[in-house]
Amino acid sequence: MAWEILFIAVFATLLVMDSADDFTGRAVLSPTSEDLLTQIEAAVPKFDFIKDADEASVCLVVSMDQTTKYSYEIIKIGEALAVTSSSSLYCKGQDKEDFIVFYPSYEKLKEQLDSVPTLSQLKTTSDGTNFYLYPSKQVLLGSTLANPKEFNEKFGDVLRKYLKSSDVQAILNPKTAEEREAASVASYIFYFITGIVVLVIFISVLIFTRAKKPEIEEDLELTAYLKSALAQGYEEEQIVQTLVQSGWPEQKVRQVLGSITSQTVPMTA
């Protein structure tokens, strides 16, 4: 009888210890803001391209769950590099931060903290595969640059060191990213004749029609931007204000946005 009681006691103790391990394991999966700050501080210096930047201000936002988000500001000035917690979602604000990087989960951030990616790898996973680039001082809605000249002066040397020249050109000036080979004399003649024909047709159209030029391309571009921004989780008012600041007519933006949202079933974050 005594051996049976002893066996039951030992078995019960092992069950309690196993349960305690489970609870401990769950706690590790949800780090506190201070724990995550320590992890980021240890990983940031390993990103070579950050060390090469003379000056940069980055706000890193991590969504821990549906209601909790942690924000951290990364400041680089000369050789000095500092990481601090921020009480504001976008740290100093979208008009002051060079970049705002949003991670949809702690797991996505942890992957890059454990295995530091190259700048090329980061570039290919900034569409939500690992993180999003939110509108900021340097980046507009749709990941286009607010001021390519200023961006080039501040970060161009770093980009050229870690990316291919074609990638850098595509970032700084997407319209002239592709380099074309010089055409032969015959090609020039062909293009010249073709150009004359097109010009004659164009002038004829202008003379014999008074139809207003449709704004289809502009509408398609605006619609694509709005759908992309909504899919990434941006608030409607934030999207409107960002596009208005970029030169889009507010009435036009709200009209297209309304047509999109009226056809879309609202989704939770």
User: For residue 207, what pLDDT is reported?
Assistant: 64
CATH number of 27-179: 3.30.1050
Q: Which two tokens stand for residue 45?
A: 């210096």
* Average confidence score pLDDT of the chain: 78
User: For residue 263, what pLDDT is reported?
Assistant: 67
User: For residue 105, what pLDDT is reported?
Assistant: 92
User: For residue 23, what pLDDT is reported?
Assistant: 42
CA distance 116 to 105: 17
User: For residue 108, what pLDDT is reported?
Assistant: 92
Query: Could you give the 3-state DSSP secondary structure of residue 145?
Result: strand
User: For residue 22, what pLDDT is reported?
Assistant: 44
CB 201 within 8 A of CB 189: no
Q: Which alpha helices (DSSP H) does 53-162 contain, by range? A: 106-114, 119-124, 148-162
User: For residue 143, what pLDDT is reported?
Assistant: 77
Domain spans of the chain? 27-179, 182-211, 216-261
CA distance 239 to 235: 6
pTM exceeding the 0.85 threshold for the entire prediction: no
> With a cut of 70, which residues of the chain have pLDDT below it?
1-29, 174-192, 205-218, 263-269
Q: What is the largest CA-CA distance in the chain?
A: 110
